[in-house]
Amino acid sequence: MLLSELDKPAVQDAVVALDPDGGASGGGGLQLLDRALKLVFMLREYERKVSLQELATALDISKSSVHRLLGTLTRLELVTRDATGRYQVGPKMKELSADVWTEADIRAVSLPHMERLRDICGETVSLHVLDGDTHVVVEQCESPHEVQWTRRVGRVYTLRRGANACALLAFFPQAEAQAILTRTRAASDSGAGPSIEELHRVRRAGYAMYARGGPVDGIAIAAPIFSRGQQPIGSLCVSGPLPRFDARAAERIASVLLQKTQLVSKAMGLRPTRTNTA
């Protein structure tokens, strides 16, 4: 990301916070801002949370100086600090960088919510990321049950059928969703795909539910993840054998799933947080 892509008022706020005297001592403010930006950009390069010592070593700056910078950046929500004292990029940085995000970002943000969702529901939770006219499984938390419904990480699915496809297509503009269905028709033998009316119902509910037959009949419930631009960038999906999905269980799972996808979307820069009611 380039410095020119940053929101100017936010950068000015950061300069004031880092150097209240406006650099009267001889360019100190610019030096602090340079260090702060290097620090944030470095955090973006990691696929995990980073300790204070690691950052100080990488920047070749004293721990006390880095700690002061991190304190200011945390207050500005450009950086967040967890209970163990490790740091990662914060939600405001997602806003400043428009819709610049990576697969590593969405995986890192989603995984704790996926694990919690799996523990609550007792079913497999998968993370899917949009890639053109397809969605790709990039992470999975498997159900503890002996009989489970899983997907292979790395598998690519067409945006045409299934809970994840419907959950994503429903939040595209209607013309764009129809264009995707038209483009994928020739490459798929999965029928006509969802109708516009079906996609409207999914959009109203906030999630999609899909039943699949096979050796073990199963149910998948998926809800989209959004970026700052209000566009879907991926989805979370809860799936499992049909016998464990009665109406009450499906309703409870959908409710928790929506809560988790809203939290992930917020962390990915969505403002304001979408609220959906089933």
Q: What is the pLDDT of residues 192-243, one digit of tens each?
A: 788 889 999 999 999 999 887 655 578 899 999 998 767 899 999 999 888 8
Is the per-residue pLDDT at 255 higher than 60? yes
Instruction: Residue 22: give the domain boundaries.
Output: 3-96
Claim to verify: residue 199 and residue 107 sit in the same structural domain: yes
Average pLDDT over residues 75-80: 86
Total structural domains in the chain?
Answer: 2
**Across 28-42, 101-115, 155-169, 261-275, which has the greatest mean pLDDT?**
155-169
Residues 133 and 177: beta-carbon distance below 8 Å = no
Per-residue confidence (pLDDT) for residue 276, from 0 to 100: 42
74-77 own/partner pairs: CB under 8 Å, 24+ apart: 75/17, 76/10, 76/13, 76/14, 76/17
Beta carbons within 8 Å of 46's beta carbon, 6+ residues apart: 88
Per-residue confidence (pLDDT) for residue 270, from 0 to 100: 74
The rounded distance, in Å, linking the Cα atoms of 162 and 211 is 8
More confident residue, 65 or 5: 65
Domain of 169, CATH number, reads 3.30.450.40
Average pLDDT, the chain: 80
Q: How many helices (H) and strands (E) does the chain have?
A: 10, 8
Claim to verify: residue 138 and residue 54 sit in the same structural domain: no
Claim to verify: residue 174 and residue 189 sit in the same structural domain: yes
List phi, psi (to 5°) of 196.
-60, -35
Per-residue confidence (pLDDT) for residue 218, from 0 to 100: 83
The rounded distance, in Å, linking the Cα atoms of 137 and 110 is 13
Per-residue confidence band for 119, with pLDDT thresholds at 50, 70 and 90 = very high
Is the per-residue pLDDT at 10 higher than 60? no
The rounded distance, in Å, linking the Cα atoms of 138 and 127 is 6
Claim to verify: residue 141 and residue 240 sit in the same structural domain: yes
